[in-house]
Amino acid sequence: MIKDISIIIPAYNEADFIKENIQKLDKFLKERYKSYEIIVSEDGSNDGTDKILCSISRKNIKHIHFEKRLGKGRALNNAFFSSSGKRIFIIDADFPVSLDYIQKMLAFVDKYDVVIGSRLMKKSAIKRSFVRHLFSITYNILVRMLFRTGTRDHQCGVKAFKREVLSEILPSITSTGFSWDTELIVKAKMRRYKILEIPIVWKDRKFGKSKVSIYKESLKMVKFISRLWYSILLKNEQ
């Protein structure tokens, strides 16, 4: 059955808060939408997150579990192809922004193909460490220079899409990890989709530690975008 919206959440070792967050989200959506689904793509957790999600799964709350960790990109791809929503909203499991952004961003999907939450616009407000902020600014400047996307924040975990956009782009996505977001935006721009970037109020996670090693993942992402740039360059020359 086709839903109005699908909320997709990548998750890895989020036992501290996942039950409370999903129930809070379900209540929020139930009060505002007639037709919706929540899909949590849980990527090889080993802290009991899978058991918690199994206990709260029902008609509108789907849990996709992988025994081995596949990476954020694969988790998101699998969640999308298991979804049925006409509009897709992606948000990190720790809910770094207010749930009100769901309505705000999905409203723009009628006029735009892709709507991106941005932590780096003038009206954005963020609470995160200086090191993470510095890495984010540097990385995004590099991507903007290489691919001329015009986008300020390629890696924000809050995005909304028309379904047909993801249906077209995802088969061409090669990233299985955290570069997924960047590659998606680059390829959406190449296909001339209408992209809107809006400022957001962002807070880093309240519970537990980030599962991302900023140094290791930054190096992987820089290597990936270098390969992506080179592959696009070669394709354009042929």
- In this structure, what token pair is assigned to residue 135? 């890495």
Taking each helix axis from N to C end, the angle separating 180-190 and 72-81, rounded to the nearest 10 degrees, works out to 60
pLDDT digits (tens, 9 = 90+) for 37-52: 999 999 889 999 999 9
Yes or no: say if 87 and 102 are a contact pair by the CB < 8 Å rule: no
Is residue 212 very low, low, confident or very high in pLDDT (cuts 50, 70, 90)?
low
Predicted confidence at residue 238, as pLDDT, reads 44
Predicted confidence at residue 9, as pLDDT, reads 97
Nearest one of 97, 62, 57, 58 to 80, comparing CA atoms: 62
**What CATH number corresponds to the domain at position 102?**
3.90.550.10
Range of the domain at 76: 3-237
pLDDT digits (tens, 9 = 90+) for 62-76: 999 988 888 899 999
In Å, what is the CA distance from 155 to each residue of 167, 178, 180?
20, 8, 9
Q: How many domains does the chain have?
A: 1
Yes or no: say if 159 and 116 are a contact pair by the CB < 8 Å rule: yes
pLDDT digits (tens, 9 = 90+) for 123-152: 999 888 888 888 889 999 999 999 999 999
pTM over 0.85: yes
Distance between CA atoms of residues 148 and 32, nearest Å? 37
